[in-house]
Amino acid sequence: MNQNPLQFTAHTGHVAPLDKANVDTDQIIPKQFLKSIKRTGFGDNLFDAWRFEDEGVIGKPLAERKPVHDFVLNDARYQTASVLLARENFACGSSREHAVWALLQYGFRCVLAPSYADIFYNNSFNNGLLPVQLTHAEIDELFTRATDVKPIEVTVELPNQTVAVTDGPSFSFEIDATRKKRLLSGLDEIGLTLEYAEQIRDFEVRHRQRNPWLFE
Protein backbone atom coordinates (compact mmCIF):
# COMPACT_ATOMS: atom_id res chain seq x y z
CA MET A 1 0.00 0.00 0.00
CA ASN A 2 1.26 3.47 -0.82
CA GLN A 3 1.63 5.85 2.08
CA ASN A 4 0.47 8.84 0.08
CA PRO A 5 -3.03 8.27 -1.29
CA LEU A 6 -2.31 10.58 -4.25
CA GLN A 7 0.61 8.46 -5.34
CA PHE A 8 0.51 5.54 -7.75
CA THR A 9 3.57 3.61 -8.81
CA ALA A 10 2.71 -0.03 -9.29
CA HIS A 11 -0.13 -2.29 -8.31
CA THR A 12 -0.81 -6.01 -8.50
CA GLY A 13 -4.32 -7.29 -8.04
CA HIS A 14 -7.25 -9.37 -9.24
CA VAL A 15 -9.45 -8.10 -12.04
CA ALA A 16 -13.24 -7.68 -11.92
CA PRO A 17 -14.77 -7.51 -15.43
CA LEU A 18 -17.68 -5.08 -15.80
CA ASP A 19 -18.90 -5.87 -19.28
CA LYS A 20 -20.97 -2.77 -20.06
CA ALA A 21 -20.25 0.20 -22.32
CA ASN A 22 -21.15 3.80 -21.41
CA VAL A 23 -21.28 3.18 -17.66
CA ASP A 24 -22.32 6.53 -16.20
CA THR A 25 -21.33 8.05 -12.88
CA ASP A 26 -24.97 7.94 -11.73
CA GLN A 27 -24.49 4.13 -11.70
CA ILE A 28 -21.05 4.24 -10.09
CA ILE A 29 -22.47 6.17 -7.15
CA PRO A 30 -26.20 7.01 -7.18
CA LYS A 31 -27.27 10.50 -6.21
CA GLN A 32 -28.73 9.76 -2.78
CA PHE A 33 -25.19 9.19 -1.51
CA LEU A 34 -24.07 12.61 -2.72
CA LYS A 35 -25.78 14.22 0.23
CA SER A 36 -22.78 13.49 2.40
CA ILE A 37 -20.51 16.40 3.20
CA LYS A 38 -17.58 14.03 3.75
CA ARG A 39 -15.00 12.63 1.41
CA THR A 40 -15.24 9.09 2.76
CA GLY A 41 -17.81 6.36 3.22
CA PHE A 42 -18.79 5.87 -0.44
CA GLY A 43 -17.27 2.42 -1.01
CA ASP A 44 -20.21 0.46 0.40
CA ASN A 45 -22.50 2.05 -2.16
CA LEU A 46 -20.36 1.65 -5.26
CA PHE A 47 -22.69 0.58 -8.12
CA ASP A 48 -25.45 0.48 -5.53
CA ALA A 49 -28.43 0.00 -7.86
CA TRP A 50 -26.69 -2.79 -9.76
CA ARG A 51 -25.24 -4.46 -6.69
CA PHE A 52 -28.37 -4.60 -4.55
CA GLU A 53 -32.03 -5.47 -5.10
CA ASP A 54 -33.27 -3.08 -2.45
CA GLU A 55 -33.04 0.66 -2.88
CA GLY A 56 -29.91 2.08 -1.26
CA VAL A 57 -30.30 4.58 1.54
CA ILE A 58 -27.48 6.47 3.22
CA GLY A 59 -26.29 4.65 6.33
CA LYS A 60 -28.09 1.34 5.70
CA PRO A 61 -25.68 -1.41 6.84
CA LEU A 62 -24.37 -3.79 4.17
CA ALA A 63 -25.57 -6.77 6.20
CA GLU A 64 -29.17 -5.68 5.65
CA ARG A 65 -28.85 -5.40 1.88
CA LYS A 66 -30.06 -7.95 -0.68
CA PRO A 67 -27.28 -8.54 -3.21
CA VAL A 68 -28.06 -9.00 -6.92
CA HIS A 69 -26.46 -12.39 -7.40
CA ASP A 70 -25.40 -12.08 -11.00
CA PHE A 71 -23.73 -8.68 -10.63
CA VAL A 72 -20.00 -8.99 -11.13
CA LEU A 73 -18.92 -7.51 -7.80
CA ASN A 74 -21.11 -10.05 -5.99
CA ASP A 75 -19.44 -12.95 -7.79
CA ALA A 76 -17.31 -15.01 -5.41
CA ARG A 77 -14.46 -14.95 -7.93
CA TYR A 78 -14.03 -11.20 -7.75
CA GLN A 79 -14.28 -10.51 -4.03
CA THR A 80 -10.64 -9.56 -3.77
CA ALA A 81 -10.51 -7.57 -7.02
CA SER A 82 -8.68 -4.25 -6.97
CA VAL A 83 -8.54 -3.62 -10.72
CA LEU A 84 -11.74 -2.86 -12.63
CA LEU A 85 -11.95 -3.91 -16.25
CA ALA A 86 -14.49 -1.83 -18.15
CA ARG A 87 -15.76 -0.96 -21.61
CA GLU A 88 -15.70 2.23 -23.65
CA ASN A 89 -16.72 5.71 -22.51
CA PHE A 90 -16.41 4.63 -18.90
CA ALA A 91 -17.83 7.02 -16.27
CA CYS A 92 -19.68 9.41 -18.54
CA GLY A 93 -22.26 11.86 -17.30
CA SER A 94 -22.18 13.71 -14.01
CA SER A 95 -18.97 15.37 -12.82
CA ARG A 96 -19.34 13.94 -9.30
CA GLU A 97 -15.89 13.16 -7.92
CA HIS A 98 -17.73 10.87 -5.53
CA ALA A 99 -17.49 8.28 -8.35
CA VAL A 100 -13.71 8.20 -8.01
CA TRP A 101 -13.92 8.21 -4.22
CA ALA A 102 -16.37 5.29 -4.28
CA LEU A 103 -14.14 3.21 -6.56
CA LEU A 104 -11.09 3.85 -4.39
CA GLN A 105 -12.90 3.33 -1.13
CA TYR A 106 -14.36 0.06 -2.36
CA GLY A 107 -10.80 -1.05 -3.02
CA PHE A 108 -10.07 -0.36 -6.68
CA ARG A 109 -6.72 1.21 -7.44
CA CYS A 110 -6.85 1.08 -11.17
CA VAL A 111 -9.35 0.90 -14.06
CA LEU A 112 -8.64 -0.66 -17.47
CA ALA A 113 -10.84 0.53 -20.33
CA PRO A 114 -10.62 1.54 -23.99
CA SER A 115 -11.86 5.10 -23.28
CA TYR A 116 -13.08 7.37 -20.50
CA ALA A 117 -15.24 10.45 -20.16
CA ASP A 118 -13.07 13.56 -19.71
CA ILE A 119 -14.16 14.83 -16.30
CA PHE A 120 -13.85 11.42 -14.65
CA TYR A 121 -10.43 10.92 -16.22
CA ASN A 122 -9.29 14.21 -14.71
CA ASN A 123 -10.85 13.51 -11.34
CA SER A 124 -9.03 10.17 -11.15
CA PHE A 125 -5.60 11.76 -11.23
CA ASN A 126 -6.58 14.14 -8.46
CA ASN A 127 -7.18 11.16 -6.18
CA GLY A 128 -4.50 8.64 -7.09
CA LEU A 129 -6.73 6.33 -9.13
CA LEU A 130 -5.01 5.22 -12.34
CA PRO A 131 -7.27 5.02 -15.42
CA VAL A 132 -5.36 2.92 -17.94
CA GLN A 133 -6.33 3.21 -21.57
CA LEU A 134 -5.80 0.05 -23.64
CA THR A 135 -6.90 -0.77 -27.18
CA HIS A 136 -10.24 -2.42 -27.90
CA ALA A 137 -8.47 -5.65 -28.87
CA GLU A 138 -6.47 -5.71 -25.63
CA ILE A 139 -9.55 -5.03 -23.56
CA ASP A 140 -11.41 -7.80 -25.43
CA GLU A 141 -8.62 -10.22 -24.67
CA LEU A 142 -8.63 -9.25 -20.99
CA PHE A 143 -12.39 -9.81 -20.82
CA THR A 144 -12.01 -13.26 -22.32
CA ARG A 145 -9.41 -14.18 -19.74
CA ALA A 146 -11.00 -12.40 -16.78
CA THR A 147 -14.32 -14.20 -17.15
CA ASP A 148 -12.68 -17.62 -16.79
CA VAL A 149 -13.36 -19.83 -13.80
CA LYS A 150 -10.31 -18.47 -12.03
CA PRO A 151 -9.91 -14.72 -11.66
CA ILE A 152 -6.85 -13.24 -13.35
CA GLU A 153 -4.23 -11.16 -11.68
CA VAL A 154 -2.52 -8.21 -13.35
CA THR A 155 0.43 -6.06 -12.46
CA VAL A 156 0.16 -2.46 -13.53
CA GLU A 157 3.44 -0.59 -13.56
CA LEU A 158 3.23 3.11 -14.16
CA PRO A 159 6.97 3.84 -14.58
CA ASN A 160 7.27 1.62 -17.66
CA GLN A 161 3.56 1.92 -18.62
CA THR A 162 2.68 -1.74 -18.72
CA VAL A 163 -0.15 -4.02 -17.71
CA ALA A 164 1.03 -7.62 -17.34
CA VAL A 165 -1.30 -10.56 -16.80
CA THR A 166 0.32 -13.02 -14.40
CA ASP A 167 1.33 -16.01 -16.57
CA GLY A 168 -0.11 -14.23 -19.58
CA PRO A 169 0.45 -11.45 -22.05
CA SER A 170 1.60 -7.99 -21.25
CA PHE A 171 0.42 -4.72 -22.81
CA SER A 172 1.85 -1.25 -22.83
CA PHE A 173 -0.26 1.87 -22.54
CA GLU A 174 0.05 5.56 -23.32
CA ILE A 175 -0.26 8.24 -20.68
CA ASP A 176 0.44 11.92 -20.73
CA ALA A 177 3.93 12.53 -19.28
CA THR A 178 2.79 15.26 -16.89
CA ARG A 179 -0.01 13.24 -15.42
CA LYS A 180 2.31 10.28 -15.04
CA LYS A 181 4.86 12.35 -13.19
CA ARG A 182 2.26 13.70 -10.85
CA LEU A 183 0.90 10.26 -9.94
CA LEU A 184 4.42 8.96 -9.42
CA SER A 185 5.31 11.83 -7.13
CA GLY A 186 1.93 12.04 -5.41
CA LEU A 187 2.28 15.83 -5.34
CA ASP A 188 -0.65 17.98 -4.29
CA GLU A 189 -1.90 19.93 -7.32
CA ILE A 190 -2.79 23.06 -5.38
CA GLY A 191 0.65 23.21 -3.82
CA LEU A 192 2.19 22.86 -7.28
CA THR A 193 0.09 25.66 -8.73
CA LEU A 194 0.71 27.99 -5.80
CA GLU A 195 4.39 27.93 -6.69
CA TYR A 196 3.26 30.08 -9.61
CA ALA A 197 1.32 32.54 -7.46
CA GLU A 198 3.39 35.46 -8.67
CA GLN A 199 2.76 34.72 -12.33
CA ILE A 200 -0.95 34.32 -11.63
CA ARG A 201 -1.01 37.70 -9.87
CA ASP A 202 0.81 39.34 -12.77
CA PHE A 203 -1.62 37.85 -15.22
CA GLU A 204 -4.52 38.98 -13.07
CA VAL A 205 -3.33 42.58 -13.18
CA ARG A 206 -3.02 42.57 -16.97
CA HIS A 207 -6.32 40.75 -17.37
CA ARG A 208 -8.03 43.32 -15.21
CA GLN A 209 -6.62 46.22 -17.18
CA ARG A 210 -7.89 44.69 -20.40
CA ASN A 211 -11.29 43.59 -19.04
CA PRO A 212 -12.19 45.73 -16.04
CA TRP A 213 -15.83 44.59 -16.20
CA LEU A 214 -14.77 41.10 -15.18
CA PHE A 215 -13.73 42.33 -11.77
CA GLU A 216 -16.83 44.07 -10.50
| CA 149 from centroid of its chain's CA atoms | 26
DSSP 8-state symbol, 3: S
For another protein, which residue of 26, 44, 75, 141 counts as binding (CB under 8 A)?
A: 26
DSSP 175-206: --HHHHHHHHHT--HHHHHHTTHHHHHHHHHH
CA separation for the pair 194, 204 (Å, rounded): 14
3-class SS at 122?
Answer: helix
Least distance (Å) between residue 196 CB and another protein? 6
Query: Can you say whether the dihedral through the CA atoms of 163, 176, 89, 32 is positive or negative?
Result: positive
Q: Does 103 bind another protein (CB under 8 A)?
A: no
Contact between 14 and 80 (Cβ < 8 Å): yes
30 scored as a contact of another protein (CB under 8 A): yes
Give the binding-site size for another protein (rule: CB under 8 A).
62
Comparing CB distances to another protein, the nearer of 64 and 215 is 215
**Contacting range for another protein; rule: CB under 8 A; set: 67-75, 104-112, 141-149, 182-190:** 182-190
Nearer to another protein, 9 or 12 (CB): 9
- The residue from 9, 12, 127, 155 that contacts another protein (CB under 8 A) is 127
21 binds another protein (CB under 8 A): yes
Asked if residue 46 binds another protein (CB under 8 A), the reply is no
Kind plus residue range of the DSSP H or E element containing 25:
helix 25-28
Q: Among residues 11 and 98, whose Cβ is nearest to another protein?
A: 98
Task: Based on the shown chain and the rule CB under 8 A, indicate whether residue 89 belongs to the binding site for another protein.
Answer: yes
Question: Looking at beta carbons only, is 12 or 36 nearer to another protein?
Answer: 36
Strands of the sheet containing 110-113, edge to edge, are 130-133, 110-113, 81-85, 10-17, 153-157, 162-165, 170-172
Cβ closest to another protein, residue 102 vs residue 153: 102
Listed in sequence order, the residues at least 6 apart from 21 whose beta carbon sits closer than 8 Å to its beta carbon are 87, 88, 89
Residues engaged in binding another protein (CB under 8 A): 20-22, 24, 26-27, 30-32, 34-39, 49, 55, 58, 87-89, 92-98, 100, 115, 117-119, 122-123, 126-127, 176-178, 181-182, 189-190, 192-197, 199-200, 203-204, 207, 210-216
